Amino acid sequence: MVKFYSKEYTYDYAFPAVSLAYFLRYPNPYSRHVASTDTISRHFDPETQRLTTVRLHLKRSRLPPAVVKLLPKSVMADRAGSDGSTQSFILEKSVVDARQGWMECESRNLDWENVLSVFERHSYRRAVAAPEVAEGLNGATAVTTPANPTAAAGGGGVAGMETPEQTHVAVSVTLKSRIGEQLRKKRQRWGEQASASSVMGGGEESASAALGGWGKQPQQPQQQPQQQQGWFSSWGSGAVRSAIESISLQRTEKSQPKAQKGMSVVLSRLRSGGIQEVLEGMRRDREVEI
């Protein structure tokens, strides 16, 4: 079973400002669990005007108590603290097309993937805000646009803060637990080997029957109980996987709105004081303990 989460919303900022805020979003008051961010590679294609960036995030968190109870001790050993505290590396790839005004971002976890695989995708698209139309006293209409937010805030000089554009965002998260899959694959291989052995042994049984049973191998009475035990174990693993995915989905439903608020904080800092205000906010957020 796989769980999905999706949501769409709009920022009242132009695409250049939102794409810049995306790369400056860690840390913020809603994501202090992000310990570090490193850029692995960055490439700009002059023909397509696209920037491709690969980054690595280190995130610290605590496993929900319900998940800790479901996981075997062998999985938890040397990977989580006694209180369920863990850390995980997140690989992120983003492609920005400044000419067409879109950005595609994908990320996945590199740790705990056997317990839960999380694939997250963000799509950003430029969307021009509709102008406000006001009707005058004489029946005439006047078209107005939002005031210049940068000028109202005393400057800042960040591109994308002075236009009435908006940026549309579509988020999707796929959650899949793989608990018990390796054991299930091993059992499947064992079953295939047992079937192959029984087919190859069919000729020997016919020969022994012709000899009146001489040389016939004794039956294996444990085979059926082993199959039944494997079936019950497989059912148990499936229930654990479903529970882990459901708990993770609930956690995602709470964390994604916080991520949206975190981006809004960074955008507000860009509006009020530009890059300098964002960097100062990062410094303050790092000083606060998780």
Domains in the chain: boundaries: 1-128+165-192+248-289
In the predicted structure, residue 276 carries a pLDDT above the cut 50: yes
Q: Which of 12-26, 71-85, 186-200 has the highest mean pLDDT?
A: 12-26
Handedness of CA 39, 41, 45, 48 (dihedral sign): negative
- The pLDDT of residue 244: 86
- What are the tens digits of pLDDT across the range 213-266? 544 555 555 544 444 444 334 446 778 888 889 989 999 999 999 999 999 999
Q: What is the DSSP string of 182-200?
A: HHHHHHHHHHHHHHHHHHH
Q: Environment class of residue 39 by beta-carbon count within 10 Å: exposed (0-12), middle (13-18) or buried (19+)?
A: exposed
15 versus 85: which is more confidently predicted? 15
Which neighbouring-strand residues pair with 133? 143
What is the rounded average pLDDT of the residues 273-285? Answer: 93
DSSP letter (8 states) at residue 57? E
Banded pLDDT at 38 (limits 50, 70, 90): very high
Q: What is the mean pLDDT of the chain?
A: 77
Banded pLDDT at 28 (limits 50, 70, 90): very high
CATH number of 1-128+165-192+248-289: 3.30.530.20
Region of poorest pLDDT, from 88-102, 120-134, 137-151, 163-177: 137-151
- What are the tens digits of pLDDT across the range 57-80? 999 887 777 777 777 666 666 666
What pTM, to 2 d.p., does this model score?
Answer: 0.71
- What are the tens digits of pLDDT across the range 108-128? 999 888 888 999 999 999 997
Q: 57 with 92: CB under 8 angstroms? A: yes
What is the rounded average pLDDT of the residues 197-219? Answer: 53
Q: Which residues of 127-158 are buried (b: 16+ CB within 10 A; e: fewer)?
A: beeeeeeeeeeeeeeeeeeeeebbeebeebeb
* Dist CA 12 CA 147 (whole Å): 12
Say which residues have a Cβ less than 8 Å from residue 207's Cβ, sequence separation at least 6: 215
- The pLDDT of residue 201: 58
